[in-house]
Structure 1
Amino acid sequence: MPVLAVPFARWAPLVAILLSIPSFDAAALSKRDTAAVEALDQRMAAAEQRYREALVKAGNAEPGAIEQSNAAIEDMEDVVAACMKQKGCQVNDQMAAFKRLLKLNTDAEAAGEEAWDEGDPMDADPDHAGDVALSADVPEAARAAALLDDRSHRFDKMVQYNPAVQAGIRRWLTDMRPSLMDSYENYEYLRQVMWPSFERAGLPEALLFGIMAKESNGKVHATSRAGAAGPMQFMYATGKRFGLGDDGTGFDTRYDPRAAAEASASYLNQRLEQLNHSIELSLAAYNGGEGRALRVYRDSSGRGFWDADVYNQFPAETRDYVPMVIAAAWLFLHPKQYGLHFPRARTRPAQLKLEKPASIYELTICLGNGGTRDGFMRALRNLNPRYQADSWLPAGTTLRATAQIAGLYDRHCVRGARAELAQQLVMSDPAAAVVHVGSATPVTGTPTVTPMVPGPTTIATGVATPAAGPREHRVARGDTLVSISRRYSCDTKILAKANDLKGPRYAIHQGQRLKLDECTK
């Protein structure tokens, strides 16, 4: 995270002056002198506030932060110089302000430091280290987890660091490095809701990360061609066995990171119990089917995954999957050994209440990058899996976010040039750019609609429910279902379903009347 680091040399002259001036007793002052002293105090307070605001801007990678901080310090210098000449002005009293700002500057510098080069390069990242307490009532997986304790590197002894795993590490560090970095950054936002399930089950966090990195790269809405869904890629039938599926609102909880992590931990516990606590065989079951893994294990008299007779009975996809998950977990535990600096995101949780209707697309634009590489669309989607990116959410909708996102929303998304630009971009209709020469009919017609007050947001889709009576739009030349849905702040798929339109073309014709009961405008 960028921080505003003002060298002590910049402060030193002021500190020296302040320390060298003796204090003196306040004498009776004239009204003019009293007013002058009060004015200097107000100038100092204002300069201190501007410096604090500059620190916030620097934290959000906003332009002009350094310039603002330097200007604030210069104002303080002017105040000190004026105070030395003003009768009754206690220069030593200004020390309190400077002490506060010096501490603020030191804390900011410390927060930005990464101690990547300290200690044994084989040590686990302290953020990932954790103890597993074993007792008679601990889940079966805890006995395997005891061998995966991050601090003592028993993970290294539990899994084989063989050429297949080494090749997996090579792939993660070369062609697949961007995917690894994306996975880690996505996981940082999800960690608070996913890791507790694995911790309660006695499972190592590295295993959670390795599976998620290989399965979905930490994209909550990932869906495979085979039908696996969510961050942990559960098939429908398997997910249903572990409590995942339609929650009654139309939302599939396989996409819920908290529920998916809990189901994944339960699934792995069962496999570990059946398969002699073997991480490799449990991963093979996760990918290649638990029935196959159990049959192979029993037929081989309990031999391990890397035994040729066992290994060759799994499909090529599973033979690739197992070492790749272990490789990602290994890098999660030992980044320093490989010169790997994982990105650090500012993920302190916060709630964001919309002050006006918006979509995640619109929020992504107005929020900007905030010091990140890719902005906040993936974070918002992952934290709010029930909403599609283009679904219009009415004012009052509460989203899960971070403190940084909430702060950027207040500054850039409620009002102002960037908020207006973001709204213009998401509402833009490519068809409106086409001009039909000689046609008296405009490309997009002017709709005749009954005004509607947005109703409550549905849990499954985030689309506002209708507040009153039937409404419709008459299709004009050049209209598309996408342009109509944007015009009325309506989800395209919901609008299509309401009017019995079939995908993927969603064909409509001029003069057709479309029902707008699911729209917010």
Structure 2
Amino acid sequence: MNKTVTIVSCVIFAALLLGYNSRVFSVELFGLFKMNGSTAEDLKRIRDFNPDSDMFYLPDLGDKEFFESVDDLSICRRSEVREHLYTYLTSGREYVKKSIERSYYYMPVITAILKEHPDIPEEIALLPLLESGFNPEAVSRSKAVGLWQFLSGTSSRLGLRNDQWTDERRDIEKSTTAAIRHLRYLYKRFGSWDLALAAYNGGCGQVGRAMDRTGAKDFWSLRENGALSNETSQYVPRFAALVIIYRNRRLSGLSGELNIPRPAATENVQVNTPVTTGELCRICNVNMEVIRRYNPELKTGVIPSYSGTYTLRLPEESLKYWNEYF
């Protein structure tokens, strides 16, 4: 009995000590990025930082899987991740804040879809933070569109419609489902999430050719060999930095600066009769901004009737008006 109690006590003590150490090194690590501005001197200090001598404790990186190293912050042993943390918390701070604020409108939908796909890491829900700043209206210089920034060719292969009525690259649910399918394929092809993410950004061809040319089997070796484009080589560490910031908004000093919206709960309805968005606003007692926010795929003021019906997302509080009218 005494032996059992001793073992249990040791386990509890070890867990408490681990939790304490985690809090200590998290606070200490984020203290590194508390600065009033962005300077070359500070950036050099971030690059030269040595986790083993300049702070109390940081978990070893070892050969951890990408998201495991993000979760326990050991990926911060990589100077490129620290540099992006520094940039996002200084010169990129306003961009990050606005992106996080917009995420509150779409994360509930994205995380609900991801729960249906347990093979996909939950952190993938935050990829739009990097891709589009959680702006479904975003269009890149290369004409990629939507939260997940699909090019026309990729979206077509994934079955997303783009016609005179809608661009489903902007559809929150359909584009998220397509992104999951695409990322699953990339993971199966390359065998790791950092390589899959690199291919999501730079394409399968770039990553595959870089691996064949160098013989490297992991993202970080490809990056160190200069085998990837600059954008793709920065993509994975940038995503790691943004996930860390999002998950540690209080420690990074952002929580008190955010204007967090209170989005309405929404629900899908089936539209099976011709109606304009203007009529919809009048019938459901909702403003056009709300319709546009949750149905950004619509190109015109007309709700299309593909196959006789169209799925529309409305605030739950407006459903009583919808049901009364239709």
The TM-score, its normalising length taken from structure 1, stands at 0.40
Query: Hey, what's the Cα distance between the residues in 1 that align with 2:74 and 2:211?
Result: 18
2:140 to 224, 245, 269: 224
Structure 2 counterpart SS, 1:255: coil
Quick one: structure 1 residues 186 and 263, their matched pair in 2 at CA, closer, same or farther if it must change by over 3 Å?
same
Check whether the contact 2:223–2:233 (CA below 8 A) recurs between aligned residues. Answer: no
Q: Label 1:265 to 1:309 Cα distance change in 2 as closer, same or farther (>3 A).
A: closer
Out of 185, 196, 199, which is 2:101 matched to? 185
Partner Cα distance (1:269, 1:398) in 2? 26
Structure 2 residue aligned with 1:208? 125
In the alignment, the residues of structure 2 paired with residue 154 and residue 309 of structure 1 have an alpha-carbon distance, to the nearest angstrom, of 18
Shift in CA distance, 172/190, structure 1 to aligned 2, threshold 3 Å: same
Does 1:273 find its partner at 2:188?
yes
Amino acid at match of 1:229: V
Q: 1:283 aligns with which of 182, 197, 210?
A: 197
State the partner residue of 2:169.
254
Tell me which of 195, 199, 211 is aligned to 2:111: 195
Aligned-partner Cα distance in 2 for 1:164–1:147? 14
Distance in 2 of aligned mates of 1:305 and 1:276: 11
Cα distance, 1:244–1:171 mapped onto 2, change above 3 Å: same
| Whole-angstrom CA distance in 2 between matches of 1:179 and 1:205 | 23
Q: CA RMSD in A?
A: 4.0
1:164 is aligned to 2:75: no
Distance 1:160 1:304, change over 3 A: farther
User: What TM-score, normalized to structure 2?
Assistant: 0.62
Shift of 1:221: 1.9
Output the CA distance in 2 between the equivalents of 1:309 and 1:167: 15
Q: Which has the larger helix fraction?
A: 2
Q: Which residue of 1 aligns with 2:154?
A: 238
Q: CA deviation at 1:204?
A: 2.8
Change (3 A) 1:147 1:253: same
Alignment pair present for 1:318 and 2:232: yes
Q: For residue 276 of structure 1, what is the amino acid of its counterpart?
A: G
Equivalent positions of 1:73-472 (< 5 A) are: 120=23, 122=26, 148=67, 155-156=71-72, 159=75, 161-199=77-115, 200-209=117-126, 211-246=127-162, 250-277=165-192, 279-307=193-221, 311-341=225-255, 342-350=258-266, 358=278, 377=289, 380-388=291-299, 391=301, 400-402=313-315
User: What amino acid maps onto 1:384 in structure 2?
Assistant: N
Residue 339 of structure 1: SS of its match in structure 2?
A: coil
Superposed CA deviations along residues 184-234 of structure 1, whole A, max 9, x for unmatched, are 22221112322233331532333331x212221111122223221111011
Distance, in Å, in 1 between the alignment partners of 2:153 and 2:311 is: 32
SS at match of 1:189: helix
- Please give the alpha-carbon distance, in whole angstroms, between the structure 2 residues aligned to 1:157 and 1:302: 24
Aligned residues of 2:101 and 2:259 also touching (Cα < 8 A):
yes
Q: Report 1 or 2 for greater relative contact order, CA contacts < 8 Å, sequence distance ≥ 6.
A: 2
Supply the AA of the counterpart residue of 1:207. Answer: I
Whole-Å Cα distance in 2 between the matches of residues 232 and 252 of structure 1? 13
Q: Distance in 2 between matches of 1:154 and 1:179?
A: 21
Paired residue secondary structure (2:251): helix
Q: CA 1:398/1:173 → structure 2, altered by over 3 Å: closer, same or farther?
A: same
Q: In the alignment, residue 228 of structure 1 is paired with which amino acid?
A: A
**1:58-80: CA deviations, max 9, x gaps?**
xxxxxxxxxxxxxxxxxxxxxxx
Distance 1:359 1:170 in 2: 48
Q: Provide structure 2 residue ranges, at least 5 long, that are not aligned to the other structure.
A: 1-21, 28-62, 270-275, 304-309, 322-326
Identity %: 23
Give the direction of change, closer, same or farther, for the CA distance of 1:231–1:172 in structure 2 (3 Å limit). Answer: same
Offset, 1:318: 1.8
Aligned to 1:20: none
The Cα shift of 1:298 comes to: 3.5
Which AA in structure 1 matches 2:125?
L
**C-alpha deviations, 1:221-263, integer Å up to 9, x for none?**
22223221111011111112222233x7732211111111111
Partners of 1:222 and 1:148 in 2: CA distance: 26
The structure that has the greater radius of gyration is 1
Distance (Å, rounded) in 1 between the aligned partners of 2:311 and 2:191 = 46
**3-state SS, counterpart of residue 400 of structure 1:** strand
**Paired residue type of 1:252:** D
Q: In 2, are the aligned partners of 1:201 and 1:265 still within 8 Å (CA)?
A: no
Q: Which amino acid aligns with 2:81?
A: V
Q: Deviations over 1:107-155 (max 9, x none)?
A: xxxxxxxxxxxx94749xxxxxxxxxxxxxxxxxxxx998736xxx763
Output the amino acid matched with 1:148.
F
What secondary structure is seen at the aligned counterpart in 1 of 2:150?
Answer: coil
- Whole-angstrom CA distance in 1 between matches of 2:277 and 2:181: 39
Give 5+ residue unaligned stretches, structure 1.
1-118, 124-143, 368-375, 411-521
Aligned length: 247
